[in-house]
Amino acid sequence: MSMEAAFSSQSSDPGALSPLDQIRYARDIIRLEGQALMALATRLDTHFCRAVEYLYRCQTSVIVTGMGKAGLIGQKIAATLSSTGTRGHFLHPAEAFHGDLGRIHRDDLVLVLSQSGETEEITRLLPSLSALGVTIIAITAQHNSTLGRSATVVLALGPLKEACGLGLAPSTSTTAMLALGDALALVVSRMRSFGPEDFARFHPGGSLGRKLSKVEDHMRRLAQCRVSDDHVSLRNVLAAPSPAGRRSGAILLLNAEGRLSGIFTDSDLARLFESRRDAALDEPVRQVMTAMPITVPAGSMVSDAMAIMTERKLSELPIVDEDGRPLGLLDITDLVGRDLDNSGQASPAGAASSFARPAQDPVAVVPRPKLFFRPGTRPAEPA
């Protein structure tokens, strides 16, 4: 059925909405909630700054509590706090009366969510919180509610119209609570200088964690790589036994000081045979290797390394220490399908099977040039 036909069709149910009416109603709901958020943004004042200061200075935990839909929003806020540098835990207000109050330390901060400020489970909890002497930050409609009067700081949502047709189902109010909770968590996170490395530490799993992980977490260790001195003949290099594990299409070549001087790949070997240079097999491998290959220093993010591999069409990328000594090798076959590159692609587009020497200075081509350097040199300082 075409879109036009769907919009013109009529249901036999007299209470049903036509597709066009459904879209109109949905847009009205989203606009109403969006307008409420804009009004909330302009309403922020020094009370918000006080709340941020308490959160920033809290050295223990932020306990978030709320009942019903507000409680569900509170769980999300607690999770956001925890993942952005502030320890956060959710406490169900009803369970608090059956032993869970023991989770709260007097140095904790309690963030309480209640649109009305009169929710029974919340108002019953307030005397116990006061007895513990904890700081209370309230997210509620008005300062003069029971919750507002008991709180150290009140973040007032102000008058809100729920988006549902009855004006009863929590919708606009919970959207506002969620946005305000995000604002608190993210402002405090910025004040803590919470960076990508910190984020990666709290998100080790899944696609996001892998993108933020270090190259050391994914590289083949040196003991798993094919390594040789660069003065050995190519024939002897190829004849040397490979280490146990998955075979790599690259051989790391070292100079007399043990620093990476070059790399030789299966594709390099194929080109020698294609050009009928059989005699090169008995020459020192340094005569035919790709000298001074692109490398990345240990500690680089794997997503940045993948960006370099994508841009330079590389299948193997050596990882080196400060002195240019190899620590391991990133092999594209170990990364395919892991969604590690900056664009979200599973593997570098058009990744070649060799380390072709770049025709132009890679600093002018590859994003974040500080991440790779030639062996024996220091990486450039960031601008």
Identify the CATH number of the domain in which residue 65 sits: 3.40.50.10490
Whether residue 117 is contained in a domain is answered as yes
Residues 230 and 176 in one domain: no
Residues 90 and 128 in one domain: yes
Whether residue 378 is contained in a domain is answered as no
Whether residue 383 is contained in a domain is answered as no
**pLDDT recorded at residue 188:** 95
Residues 138 and 222 in one domain: no
Q: How confident is the model at residue 130 (pLDDT cuts 50, 70, 90)?
A: very high
Residues 244 and 183 in one domain: no
Strands annotated E in 233-346: 250-254, 260-265, 290-291, 296-297, 316-320, 326-331
Is the Cα dihedral 81, 82, 86, 87 positive or negative? positive
Q: Which amino acid is at 122?
A: I
Whether residue 3 is contained in a domain is answered as no
Q: Which amino acid is at 312?
A: R
Which H or E run includes 8? helix 3-8
Residues 145 and 227 in one domain: no
Three-state secondary-structure class, residue 301: strand
Domains contained in the chain, number:
2
Residues 68 and 101 in one domain: yes
Domain end among 137, 169, 194: 194
Would you say how long the chain is, in residues? 383
Residues 221 and 361 in one domain: yes
Q: Looking at the predicted structure, is the pLDDT value of residue 317 above 50?
A: yes
Q: Looking at the predicted structure, is the pLDDT value of residue 370 above 70?
A: no
Mean pLDDT over each residue of the chain, to the nearest integer: 82
**pLDDT recorded at residue 377:** 44
Residues 259 and 339 in one domain: yes
Which H or E run includes 226? strand 226-229
Whether residue 199 is contained in a domain is answered as no
Domain end among 168, 194, 220: 194
Interval 23-27 mean pLDDT? 93
Whether residue 120 is contained in a domain is answered as yes
Domain end among 194, 225, 247: 194
Q: Looking at the predicted structure, is the pLDDT value of residue 239 above 70?
A: yes
Q: Looking at the predicted structure, is the pLDDT value of residue 146 above 80?
A: yes
Q: How confident is the model at residue 137 (pLDDT cuts 50, 70, 90)?
A: very high
Model pLDDT for residues 43-89, shown as the tens digit of each residue: 999 999 999 999 999 999 999 999 999 999 999 999 999 989 999 99
Q: How confident is the model at residue 4 (pLDDT cuts 50, 70, 90)?
A: low
Model pLDDT for residues 318-369, shown as the tens digit of each residue: 999 988 999 999 888 777 655 444 443 433 333 333 333 333 333 333 333 3
Whether residue 17 is contained in a domain is answered as no
User: Lowest-confidence range among 187-191, 243-247, 253-257, 277-281?
Assistant: 243-247
How many C-alpha atoms does 97 have within 13 Å on its Cβ side?
A: 10
CA-CA-CA-CA dihedral for 260, 213, 305, 221, to nearest 10: 30
Please choose, from the candidates 299, 291, 217, the residue with its C-alpha nearest in 3D space to the C-alpha of residue 260. Answer: 291
Residues 44 and 120 in one domain: yes
Residue-range definition of the domain harbouring residue 109: 29-194
**pLDDT recorded at residue 92:** 96
**pLDDT recorded at residue 367:** 35
Residues 216 and 350 in one domain: yes
The answer to whether the CB of 313 falls within 8 A of the CB of 350 is: yes
Residues 181 and 329 in one domain: no
Model pLDDT for residues 171-223, shown as the tens digit of each residue: 999 999 999 999 999 999 999 988 766 666 666 665 666 666 788 888 889 88
CATH number of the structural domain spanning residue 308: 3.10.580.10
Q: Answer whether 0.85 is exceeded by the pTM.
A: no
Model pLDDT for residues 267-311, shown as the tens digit of each residue: 888 888 888 887 888 888 888 898 988 899 988 888 888 888 888
Q: Which amino acid is at 134?
A: V
Q: Looking at the predicted structure, is the pLDDT value of residue 378 above 60?
A: no
How many C-alpha atoms does 249 have within 13 Å on its Cβ side?
A: 18
User: Lowest-confidence range among 161-165, 181-185, 251-255?
Assistant: 161-165
Q: Give the span between the Cα atoms of 286 and 280, in whole angstroms.
A: 10
Q: Looking at the predicted structure, is the pLDDT value of residue 109 above 50?
A: yes
In the block, residue with structure tokens 């169900």: 92
Residues 238 and 358 in one domain: yes
Whether residue 377 is contained in a domain is answered as no
**pLDDT recorded at residue 198:** 66
Helices (H), 136-195: 146-150, 172-191
**pLDDT recorded at residue 208:** 63
